[in-house]
Amino acid sequence: MRVLVVNAGSSSVKLRLLDEHDSLVRSEDLSAGTDGIDTARLADVLRAWPAPDVVGHRVVHGGTRFTGAVRVADEVRAGLEDLIDLAPLHQPKSLAALDAVTALLPDVAAVACFDTAFHSTIPEAAATYAVPREWRERYAIRRYGFHGLSHAHCARRAAEVAGLDAPRIVSCHLGAGASLAAIVDGRSVDTTMGFTPLEGLVMATRSGTVDPGLLLWLEEHEHLTPHEVATALEQRSGLLALAGTADMRDVEARAENGDPDALLAIDVSVHRLAGAIGAMAVAAGGLDLLAFTGGVGEHSALVRRRAAERLAFLGVAVDSRRNDAAQGDADISAVGAAVHTVVVTAREDLRIAHEARTLLDG
């Protein structure tokens, strides 16, 4: 079954056409700015490509209703629209891509695959916030978690690379957005992102976890509006706030030259990362396998090394030569380390294709 994977991001729409063996047949990234998707270019691309048997769409938020892949019909489309309030920065882009591709391929089945669905298995103790019951019930406030498609692929592939059967895994998706997942027997049991993709680790321009009292203090004493606070946390925080650049490659280059802000940014990021990995290991009941994926996870030997050093007490150790030379999927564990450490290339497209085929075949 040939699958067209449509992955709508903040600034682009990634199109990947996979054959029945998951070989990449065609690949194209289209611009998707504030004016929307380049529909003319999209039409040109799809006309030139072999016709798919199914289209798999990445959708960021499935809420509590969509806990697995679902074939898109009018009722489902309306349900996805209802979830915009829970992901106002991401959901509209997913829906715009869905509508644009469906208009061009109206007779091809469309399947929505959700970043939140993988985390629908986390227990209530991990999912529940200690806030008033009426808030939780009225607004469906809970830990949803994100990057689920990436974590699901990473966990499966990491176990293959390490040669382990259903281990206790902590998956680290580190990129412009970053989150961890604790995975046991292939199921997510905890994750660092929460009700929104702001919670958790230090990210490129997102703050990660901050004291909610700080936000209330800023609104009261600095007279900031909720919109101003949200904009600052989403777009002017993280690495950008600490080092003046949102690109970890630039941060590392500046740190090598002794830039104090860059050194602090790395220290803060690794401190949060290592602490969160420890917390995920607790949620998993131990740690057999540590996996890094995403742009930073795949390409920053420094971040992997520094994190491993902080986690030595758990049995994590990486081989410096393997770590520095890692390309693609790679085992970077030190000989004799109690915990395996691997690098996995982020391939959300493979997970989406798998979910789409499974749904239609089932």
Under CATH, domain 164-343 is a member of which superfamily? ATPase, nucleotide binding domain (3.30.420.40)
What's the mean per-residue pLDDT of the chain?
95
Q: What backbone torsions phi and psi does residue 108 show, to the nearest 5 degrees? A: -100, 130
Indicate the pLDDT class of residue 35, thresholds 50, 70 and 90: low
Higher-pLDDT residue of 37, 185: 185
Indicate the pLDDT class of residue 34, thresholds 50, 70 and 90: low
Q: Considering the chain, what percentage of its residues have pLDDT values greater than 70?
A: 99
- At 159 the pLDDT is 97
Indicate the pLDDT class of residue 150, thresholds 50, 70 and 90: very high
Query: What is the domain partition of the chain in residue ranges?
Result: 3-114, 164-343
pLDDT digits 0-9 by tens, 5-24? 999 876 789 999 999 999 99
Nearest alpha-carbon partner for 38 in 11, 60, 7: 11
Q: Which of 107, 115, 185, 190 is catalytic?
A: 115
Q: What backbone torsions phi and psi does residue 199 show, to the nearest 5 degrees? A: -75, 150
Asked if the domains 3-114 and 164-343 are classified in one and the same CATH topology, the answer is yes
Q: Give the C-alpha separation, 270 to 275, whole Å.
A: 8
CB burial readout 342-352, b (16+ within 10 A) else e:
bbbbbbbbbbb
106: number of CA atoms within 13 Å, CB side?
2
Give the tokens for residue 132: 């008033």
107: annotated active-site residue: no
- At 229 the pLDDT is 95
Indicate the pLDDT class of residue 32, thresholds 50, 70 and 90: confident
Task: Centre a 10 Å sphere on the Cβ of residue 63 and count the other Cβ atoms it contains.
Answer: 21
Indicate the CATH number for domain 3-114: 3.30.420.40
- At 31 the pLDDT is 83
Strand locations in 265-333 (E): 289-293, 330-331
pLDDT digits 0-9 by tens, 294-347? 999 999 999 999 999 999 999 999 999 999 999 999 999 999 999 999 999 999
The CA R_g of the chain, rounded to the nearest whole Å, is 20
Mean pLDDT of 222-242: 95
Mean pLDDT of 149-159: 97
Q: Which residues lie below 8 Å from residue 55, measured CB to CB, with a gap of 6+?
A: 3, 4, 5, 6, 101, 102, 105, 108, 109, 110, 111, 356
Coil, helix or strand at residue 336: coil
- At 90 the pLDDT is 82
pLDDT digits 0-9 by tens, 201-225? 999 999 999 999 999 999 999 999 9
Q: Kindly tell me if the per-residue pLDDT of 33 is higher than 80.
A: no
pTM for the predicted model, two decimal places: 0.95
Q: Give the C-alpha separation, 162 to 290, whole Å.
A: 10
pLDDT digits 0-9 by tens, 91-148? 998 999 999 999 999 999 999 999 999 999 999 999 999 999 999 999 999 999 999 9
